Amino acid sequence: MLRKTLLPFALGVSLCAHTAVADEFLETLDAARVAYEDGNIQDTLEELAYAQQIVRDMKTAGFTDFLPPAPDGWTREINTDMGAAMAMFGGGVGAEATYAGNGESFNVTIMADNAMVQGFAGMLSGVGQLMGKRVRVGSEKFMNQDGELTGLVDNRILVQASGAAVEVMIPVLEQIDFEAMGGFGR
């Protein structure tokens, strides 16, 4: 009974949070329009850059949903500073989690819309086959290069796992809905 009562409440809170972000986005666009109409080009650029950041933050939050839950007996810690890290990779969006258990740990990183992903696209096609062994993870092909797994979903989303034995990481990666991920953000 409590679950049925909390579900509508949780959905309402989520909708309000999304609406608040969307309102901030629209307010920022309005501020950019006003600055533009006033002839203030610098303020226009700053407001537009901030609007882009709001959208990237929304997309990053959505990417986090693709990070699989921790296996039984393990923990998952999501990196909440991924946005700052993405700036070092030339922008874009991403999500990252560290999984720890049984004396081991590994990271799963998801990135899209940046130069690093475009660089890996070429490497993972023909040339990449010379640099590592191909392994299947669910419906996707990954490259295993010295225990680091790298895959490209829909030719635009880079998925990497590293830090533990391949046999430990693959079952976690297999939980990702690659089909839904490929359609995300379009």
The CATH number that applies at residue 158 is: 3.40.1000
Q: Residue 112 — pLDDT band, cuts 50, 70, 90?
A: confident
* 52 and 73 share one domain: no
* 150 and 58 share one domain: no
Say which amino acid occupies 75.
T
* 55 and 69 share one domain: no
pLDDT at 16: 45
Distance from C-alpha of 168 to C-alpha of 108, rounded to nearest angstrom: 12
* 154 and 177 share one domain: yes
For 154, what's the count of Cα atoms within 13 Å in the CB-facing half-sphere?
Answer: 16
* 34 and 93 share one domain: no
* 20 and 56 share one domain: yes
Tokens (6 digits) for 86: 């993405």
Distance from C-alpha of 83 to C-alpha of 95, rounded to nearest angstrom: 8
Q: Where does a domain end: 47, 63, 79?
A: 63
* 151 and 134 share one domain: yes
pLDDT at 113: 77
What does pTM read for this prediction?
0.71
How many other CB atoms are there within 10 angstroms of residue 180's CB atom?
11
pLDDT at 86: 63
Distance from C-alpha of 168 to C-alpha of 126, rounded to nearest angstrom: 27
Q: Residue 183 — pLDDT band, cuts 50, 70, 90?
A: confident
pLDDT tens sequence across 120-140: 666 665 545 556 788 999 989
Our count of domains for the chain comes to 2
Between 19 and 155, residue with greater pLDDT: 155
* 72 and 97 share one domain: yes
Q: Residue 3 — pLDDT band, cuts 50, 70, 90?
A: very low
pLDDT tens sequence across 17-61: 455 656 899 999 999 999 999 999 999 999 998 988 888 778 777
* 109 and 173 share one domain: yes
* 75 and 105 share one domain: yes
Distance from C-alpha of 4 to C-alpha of 124, rounded to nearest angstrom: 46
pLDDT at 41: 95
* 81 and 167 share one domain: yes
Q: Where does a domain end: 20, 43, 63?
A: 63
Q: Could you tell me if 150 and 111 are in contact, meaning their C-beta atoms sit under 8 angstroms apart?
A: no
pLDDT tens sequence across 60-74: 777 888 999 999 999
Q: Which domain holds residue 24?
A: 2-63
pLDDT at 55: 83
